[in-house]
Amino acid sequence: MNIAICDDDASELSRLHEMIDRWAEHSGIIARVREFSDGEILCNSLLDNRKYDVFILDVIMPKMDGISLARKLRSLEYVSEGTPIIFLTSAKEFAVESYEVRAFHYLLKPVSREKLDEVLGLAYDGIQKETDDAFIVRTADGEYCLKRSKICRVVFQNRMIDYVCEEKTIRSLTAQESFKNATAAFDKDSRFFRCGASLIVNLSLIRSVDKNIVTFADNKGYPVPRASAKELYKAWIDYWLEGEDA
């Protein structure tokens, strides 16, 4: 777990670093912490192929304040949309601005070890969930990292697999194994339902089911095998009645 902390107070940087190391050791996690006293230097480190799983930023800094730094980080292609940004400050009035840049959490100084441990634990759990959701698809244009949560349906045709998302479709190379074996991981995810031998649908992204026509979040209707339509409708209803985390 790579963590970047940015604070213009050297003693605060040292204190945070020590608390993070204690949390990581207690949690059995390998954490690599880099300290920065300037936001520009932090941003420049990303150009050197540095990747951070979590950013901990002081809000009040002289050259670039934490909110401005977070806006810049969110605009960079090197920072994924879901990367947690944790703000530290003694001024409560910055809380609203921090949520405008999708802050993961907002902690008031002086931060207690217990509170920091709690927030880091939540961030780590979220990162693990994101990691588990991602997988690699090999396409004619190279490898593509795709998240299962973004897939409306998975379709097998002409020995290739189409992963249909709301905005685009990712087509795999010619499958070297059966569709069932190639997509076995989807059977372990309660969001997905297998319709016949060549179709898997994402129950969480279905908007309506009318006979054997399913409309997804992309507002496109798609036919499912009539033999599977009734079971699909039941699975869809059960999914939402039980809750999406069931």
Task: Spell out the domains of the chain, with CATH numbers in brackets.
Answer: 2-133 (3.40.50.2300), 140-242 (2.40.50.1020)
Residues 79 and 42 sit within 8 Å (Cβ to Cβ): no
pLDDT lower than 70: segments of the chain: 49, 91-102, 243-246
* Per-residue model confidence (pLDDT) at position 102: 66
* Per-residue model confidence (pLDDT) at position 92: 62
* Per-residue model confidence (pLDDT) at position 104: 80
* Per-residue model confidence (pLDDT) at position 94: 56
How many other CB atoms are there within 10 angstroms of residue 217's CB atom? 14
* Per-residue model confidence (pLDDT) at position 128: 80
Question: If residue 125 lies in a helix (H) or strand (E), which one and from where to where?
Answer: helix 113-133
Q: Rounded CA gap, 216 and 205, in Å? A: 6
* Per-residue model confidence (pLDDT) at position 205: 92
Q: How far is CA 168 from the centre of its chain?
A: 18
From residue 76, alpha-carbon distances to 39, 51, 62, 69, 71 in Å are 13, 12, 22, 11, 9
Residue in 62, 61, 105, 104 with CA at minimum distance from that of residue 79 = 104
The set of residues, in sequence order, having a beta carbon less than 8 Å from that of 123 and lying 6+ positions away, is: 53, 54, 84, 86, 104, 105
* Per-residue model confidence (pLDDT) at position 246: 41
Residues 230 and 210 sit within 8 Å (Cβ to Cβ): no
Judging by beta carbons within 10 Å of its beta carbon (0-12, 13-18, 19+), is residue 95 exposed, middle or buried?
A: middle
